[in-house]
Amino acid sequence: DQQVKQNSPSLSVQEGRISILNCDYTNSMFDYFLWYKKYPAEGPTFLISISSIKDKNEDGRFTVFLNKSAKHLSLHIVPSQPGDSAVYFCAADQNSGGYQKVTFGTGTKLQVIP
Amino acid sequence: ETGVTQSPTHLIKTRGQQVTLRCSSQSGHNTVSWYQQALGQGPQFIFQYYREEENGRGNFPPRFSGLQFPNYSSELNVNALELDDSALYLCASSSGGGNYGYTFGSGTRLTVV
C-alpha cells in the first residue's frame, strides 16, 4: 500500500524556468509533509516542509502547496538552476503511537538543462 | 556542528551472514531512525530509537534489530542475510521530527551475494 505517491519518475526543465514536482497521498492523518533532495552517493537533504493545516509554505526559490481536499502537494522551484538537478522525494510525517513515522514516495529525478 | 556519519560506506556480505551498520547522530539529536532504500525506491522505515529505546517499527522482520547508545549513536544489525537485503541503508537523526525534518547520513551500500 503506497501511501505517498510520486507518479512522475523524471522531469526535465530549462534553466530559469519553473520546475513543478507533484505528490499524492492517501492517508489523511499525516501531520506534516516534507520534501527532500538527494544527490548521488549522498543521503537525502531536507528542503522544505508544510504543516497539514497550511496550504502554502515558501522558502526562497522553493514553494510547497498543499491541497488537502485533493490529497495532493506540489513543490515549485523558481527559477530552476542546474544545481537543482537531483532526485526529489516527497515524504509525509505522522505521529504513530508515540513516534514520528515518515513515509517516503519513490522520488522524481529532476534534470535542469543549462 | 557535525552531521550524521555512517560506517562503513560499502559492504559485501554472503547470504546467511550477519552485518552491523553504525551511525553517529548529529550533535543535539536524541532520535535516530533507520531506513532501507532499494534501487529505484524511496526510503522505507525500519525502526526508530529515542533515548536508547525502540519506539517505532516498520514492516521489517525481527532479524532486523538495533541499538542506541547513551551518546545517541546507533547500530543496525541484520541477521541471516538474504539477497533482497541488498540496498542502501540510511540513518537519520532529529531532535523531534515533524516539520523540522531529519538529517540523513550518506548511507551504507550493502550488497548480499
Question: Is-contact A93 A102, C-beta < 8 A?
Answer: yes
Name, in order, each residue with C-beta under 8 angstroms of B61's C-beta and a sequence gap of 6 or more.
none
Report which of residues B40 and B88 the model is more confident about: B88
Span B53-66, average pLDDT: 93
| Residue B60 pLDDT exceeds 80 | yes
pLDDT tier at B48, thresholds 50, 70, 90: very high
Span B86-99, average pLDDT: 84
Q: What angle do CA A48, A49, A55 make, to 5 degrees?
A: 120
Predicted confidence (pLDDT) per residue in A39-52, tens digit? 988 899 999 999 99
Q: Which of A37-41, B61-65, B90-94, B97-101 has the lowest mean pLDDT?
A: B97-101
Span B68-80, average pLDDT: 94
Question: Phi first, then psi: what are they for B28, rounded to 5°?
Answer: 90, -5
| Residue B26 pLDDT exceeds 90 | no
Q: What is the pLDDT of residue B3?
A: 87
- Mark yes or no for CB contact A107/B106 under 8 Å: no
**Quick one: which H or E segment has residue A60?**
none
Place of cell 529515542: B50
Residue A53 in contact with partner chain B when CB distance is under 8 A: no
- Mark yes or no for CB contact A51/B99 under 8 Å: yes
Q: What is the pLDDT of residue A68?
A: 95
The chain-wide mean pLDDT, for chain A, equals 94
- Mark yes or no for CB contact A43/B101 under 8 Å: no
**Nearest Cα residue in chain A from B50:** A99
Question: Is-contact A8 A108, C-beta < 8 A?
Answer: yes
**Quick one: which H or E segment has residue B23?**
strand B19-24
> Can you read off the three cell numbers belonging to residue B13?
556480505
| Residue B77 pLDDT exceeds 90 | yes
| Residue B1 pLDDT exceeds 60 | no
Residues of chain A neighbouring B7 (CB-CB closer than 8 A): none
Q: Calculate Rg over the CA atoms of chain B.
A: 13
- Mark yes or no for CB contact B90/A44 under 8 Å: yes
Report which of residues B40 and A55 the model is more confident about: A55
Instruction: Tell me the residues of chain A between 25 and 44 that have a Cβ less than 8 Å away from chain B.
Output: 31-32, 34, 36, 41-44
Residue A88 in contact with partner chain B when CB distance is under 8 A: no
Percent of chain A exceeding pLDDT 90 equals 83
pLDDT tier at A17, thresholds 50, 70, 90: very high
Span A11-24, average pLDDT: 98
Q: Residue B84: CA atoms inside 13 Å, Cβ hemisphere, count?
A: 2
Determine the Cα–Cα distance for residues A51 and A102; give it in Å rounded to an integer. 14
- Mark yes or no for CB contact A106/B33 under 8 Å: no
Determine the Cα–Cα distance for residues A54 and B23; give it in Å rounded to an integer. 34
